[in-house]
C-alpha cells in the first residue's frame, strides 16, 4: 500500500508516568540558566558542581524510567543531591545543592521525554506495518496551511526503510508570510531516534527544499513519497 500516510494518527504513547506540572518543569529549566553562570569564575566550585550534578543524574536514572521517579525525587529536594554526592565520595561544601538538584531533574526530564517520543514512533511504525501501510505520520502540529504565528511541523516515515520526510513552516522576514520547508532524515528502526544522515549519498532529489506556499510544498512531499515508494 502506497500513497498518503494516515494523517489522523492515534496516539499509542507509552504510559511512562504522570505528566510533570508545567510550573515544575519551568522551574527546572530556569535553574539550568542560573547554575553554571554562577560558578564559571570559580574553577574548583565549577568542577565539583559538574561532578555532583553527574552523580545526581546517575542516581535519577537508577530510580527507574518514566516521570514517576522524577516527581518523587523532586519532593526530596536537596537531600537527593546530598545523598548522591555522599555515595560518590564528593563534597558539597560551598555548592548550591538545591540548584544542582533542579538541573539534574531538568536533564533527566529531557531524557524521559525523548524516550517516550522514541517509543511512540516505534509503536506507530509497528502498527502501520501490521496494517500494510507504507507511510505513517509520526508527529503533526500547527497550522497546515501556514500561519506566521503558528508554525507547522509534520514528520512522516516510509515504513519499509525508515526514511523520514519532515515538513515545517517558519515566519518569513516580512513577518506576514511563511517559508515552507521539506527535508529528509532517518528513523532508527531499533531505537526510534530520528538521526541526521549523509544526504549526499541519497542523491540530489533528497536535498532540503523551501517553497512559497503549502501547495508547492505538498507537491514536493508527494514527489519524495513516490521516489521512496519505488525503492
Burial of 50 (0-12, 13-18, 19+ CB in 10 A): middle
What pLDDT does residue 196 have? Answer: 77
pLDDT digits (tens, 9 = 90+) for 163-208: 999 999 999 888 889 999 999 999 999 999 998 766 556 666 789 9
What pLDDT does residue 17 have? Answer: 79
CA distance 42 to 93: 13
In this prediction, what percent of the chain has a pLDDT beyond 70?
89
Query: Does residue 192 sit in helix, strand or coil?
Result: coil
* This prediction's pTM: 0.75
What pLDDT does residue 5 have? Answer: 67
Cell for 206?
533528497
pLDDT digits (tens, 9 = 90+) for 45-58: 999 999 999 999 99
Rg (CA), the chain: 22
Q: What is the mean pLDDT of the chain?
A: 89
- φ and ψ at 78, to 5 degrees? -60, -20
Residue 1 has pLDDT above 80, yes or no: no
pLDDT digits (tens, 9 = 90+) for 13-32: 445 678 899 999 999 999 99
Instruction: Calculate mean pLDDT across residues 132-137.
Output: 95
pLDDT digits (tens, 9 = 90+) for 100-111: 999 999 999 999
What pLDDT does residue 8 have? Answer: 44
Residue 14 or residue 86, greater confidence:
86
Query: Lowest mean pLDDT: which of 8-12, 61-65, 76-80?
Result: 8-12
What pLDDT does residue 206 have? Answer: 84
| DSSP string for 69-123 | HHHHHHHHTHHHHHHHHHHTT---TT--HHHHHHHHHHHHHHHHHHHHHHHHHHH
Amino acid at each position: 500500500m502506497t500513497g498518503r500516510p494516515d494523517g489522523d494518527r492515534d496516539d499509542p504513547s507509552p504510559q511512562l508516568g504522570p505528566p510533570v506540572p508545567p510550573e515544575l518543569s519551568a522551574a527546572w529549566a530556569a535553574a539550568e540558566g542560573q547554575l553554571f553562570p554562577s560558578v564559571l569564575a570559580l574553577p574548583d566550585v565549577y568542577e565539583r558542581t559538574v561532578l555532583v550534578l553527574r552523580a545526581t543524574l546517575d542516581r535519577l536514572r537508577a530510580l527507574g524510567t518514566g516521570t514517576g521517579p522524577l516527581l518523587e525525587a523532586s519532593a526530596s529536594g536537596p537531600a537527593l543531591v546530598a545523598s548522591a554526592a555522599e555515595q560518590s565520595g564528593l563534597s558539597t561544601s560551598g555548592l548550591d545543592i538545591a540548584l544542582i538538584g533542579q538541573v539534574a531533574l531538568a536533564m533527566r526530564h529531557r531524557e524521559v521525554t525523548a524516550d517516550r517520543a522514541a517509543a511512540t514512533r516505534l509503536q506507530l511504525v509497528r502498527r502501520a506495518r501490521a496494517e500494510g501501510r507504507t507511510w505513517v505520520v509520526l508527529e503533526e502540529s500547527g497550522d497546515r496551511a501556514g500561519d506566521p504565528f503558528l508554525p507547522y511541523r509534520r514528520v512522516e516515515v516510509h515504513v519499509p526503510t525508515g526514511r523520514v520526510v519532515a515538513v515545517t513552516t517558519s515566519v518569513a522576514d516580512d513577518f506576514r508570510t511563511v517559508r515552507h520547508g521539506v527535508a529528509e532524515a532517518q528513523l532508527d528502526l531499533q531505537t526510534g531516534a530520528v538521526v541526521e544522515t549523509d544526504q549526499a549519498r541519497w542523491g540530489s532529489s533528497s536535498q532540503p527544499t523551501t517553497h512559497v506556499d503549502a501547495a508547492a510544498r505538498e507537491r514536493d512531499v508527494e514527489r519524495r513519497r513516490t521516489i521512496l515508494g519505488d525503492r
